[in-house]
Structure 1
Amino acid sequence: MKPLKTLLVDDEYSAIEGLVIRLAAFSQISIIGHAASVDEAMVLISQSAPDLIFLDIEMPGKSGFELIKQLQPENCPAIIFVTAFHQYAVKAFEVRALDYLLKPVKQERLAEAIARVTANLAQQPNKADILEVADIVQQAGTARPADTTTYRIEQEKLLIQDGHHPAQLIPYRDILWIDAAGDYMCVHTNAETFVMRARMKSLINEVLPDGFIRIHKSTIVNLQHVAKLEPLINSEYKLILVNNKALKVSRTYSKQLKENLSA
């Protein structure tokens, strides 16, 4: 396969520099330019027709999602989002990006993302077809999970698997909390955020072991990582995790939480 013509889009030049350094280790990547805005990127895309774009989301003026809206589906390059924010992962699925990397980007995750892109290009020579590939999400997500995504308990780990890629196993002890976004769940560890297709009710009732408890209609917490509980008004509480992450506890679940913490 020829080197992938690659465009970097980020309004922070330091982020561009860091990515250039990391990408130098991959012979299959040929950087053709970089842009600090959507408008600059569109000019370079029209001139160079890149195969792959590493795309930031939050940028002045227009976001990375707005860039994708301007691209023709039949000519759309492969997209790897690179962002500091995990909460956009679900939306990234909807535009069918091939991967979703959290800053600061780890070399190992970068290698996985590039391997995914090259594998999809090899299997699907037509770029339009690449957009139909459904991939499992890793670190705050990769690509849109297929409807056949399954999850289960295996060797004290949460298994995320979609049949297209190697399974991602996350030790339960490493999971701090899980929050919901529609039919998707963001699974947070100290190091990474993973996204899986699941419903909270099924996850808490059928999958997660004892020690995981619901504290809000959209949040599950691992009791092993709870540092303290602070009262708020109206019988609500603020739960502080060992990493200082603060989570809201609703009245509906506060009694059960207090009982479990005092047990």
Structure 2
Amino acid sequence: MHATALIAEDEPLLAAHLQAELQRLWPDLRVLATVGDGASALRESLAHRPDVVFLDIRMPGMNGLDAAQALAEDWPDDDTASAPPLIVFVTAYDEYAVRAFEHAALDYVLKPVQTERLARTCERLQAALARRGETPNQLEPLVEQLRGLLGIAHASAEPGLEPLHMLQASAGNTITMVPVDDVLYFESADKYVRVVTAEREHLIRLSLRDLLQRLDTRAFWQIHRGTVVRAQAIASASRDEAGKLTLRLHGHEARLVVSRLYTDRFKGM
């Protein structure tokens, strides 16, 4: 079966070994690119549209899980779009990670890559590629699998962290105390997070991933990989003709787009 792949692995020797093993086990697989970080994996995947993406879980900057989430959110779903790639995570042995991938029905290979295990993965990938076309919405299986994996990841966040009640936002020589209960939404902004209240905006030097571990997820909902909104601030959710879901907030002009990974939060009762 002729297919294409992309490898995202920040250790060059491991990337080269994986590519060599793939070439031996699946000669018709063409590796389009090898990259060393999640942001490059996202960019090259959207540019080249490979059939399979091998994602190292631990990479600098955007990790493998973040890159998979971004792929599911950013992959086009118009009539001319190709099917999204099948995703295989590459990870050092980690009991939680293995259980999570198995629960979410996503494939994985362990480091160092074992030939027998990789051969089984190649067989599964070939069978899955052969079945393509049977599902009208090619994105939905990937979205559902990643929803399950993200749910496990959030539920397994580092225990024992005290929930945040007050944020300290610095600007110049001034530190502003911002009660978390006043926040309408958080939004990623390069190395910072924008903190938006009804009156003004602040910047805090903290990743959204780390911030999420300190928020009450019953009160704050993630709606996009870069956006978390306070549930009580949401006034309405509406879909446009293309199916895109947008939130309107109480007393604020912002319109927040919900990614396809989180649209299941918004269902009529």
The TM-score, its normalising length taken from structure 2, stands at: 0.45
| Greater relative contact order (Cα < 8 A, sep 6+) | 2
The TM-score, its normalising length taken from structure 1, stands at: 0.46
